Amino acid sequence: MKILGIDPGLDITGYGVIKKNSVKPTIIEAGVIRTSHKEGLTDRLHNIHSQITELIDSTKPDICIVEKLYSHYKHPMTAILMAHARGVVLFSAREKNITIVDYPAKTVKRAITGNGNASKVQVQRVVNKLLGLKDAERPLDVTDALALCLTYIYHTNKETETVKI
């Protein structure tokens, strides 16, 4: 099974594709989609849509995991901009008939680190260790996308184990 994780953002959208194996999950591809502040909103959203569509076409994931929208009362504009990018991501996946699952950030942090209030750096360290990655510099958006994939694997493994009992 191939799992596409996406951490949506208007400036930077992180993505990761993991293949779920019986032994250990392996990374197929991971990276970021960047848009420029110099472009208009519609051009930036079109850029995200085009690149997500190309990613889906090239990797052929079975499922897409996306971070749920959140907002902080001090930064409402951040949530609005993220919502635009998230909407485009959801549309792109749905357009390709891919099942979509979303998780709140706290659920991902809890699944990966055991602490729903873990920092992005803590999540990155654990993801690197779980996937056998060196602690090379990579955007936290990529690590967050990979963490979404791993969270899905953990949640589906728990459900499978529960059914077997």
**Separation CA 122–CA 44 (nearest Å):** 30
- For residue range 114-155, list pLDDT tens digits in order: 999 999 999 999 999 999 888 767 789 999 999 999 999 999
Distance CA 54, CA 51 (A): 5
Q: Are 64 and 93 in contact (CB under 8 A)?
A: yes
Tell me the pTM.
0.91
CA 45, 48, 53 angle in degrees (round to 5)?
125
Distances in Å between the alpha carbon of 129 and those of 7, 45, 112, 124, 135? 20, 33, 11, 9, 9
Q: Where are the domains of the chain?
A: 2-164
Extract the tokens encoding 95: 């357009």
Task: Tell me: pLDDT of 48 over 90.
Answer: yes
> Catalytic residues, which ones?
7, 67, 141
**What CATH class is the domain 2-164?**
alpha beta
Position 145 scores a pLDDT of 97
CB atoms within 10 A of CB 92: 21
Burial environment of residue 91 by CB neighbours within 10 A (0 to 12, 13 to 18, 19 or more): middle
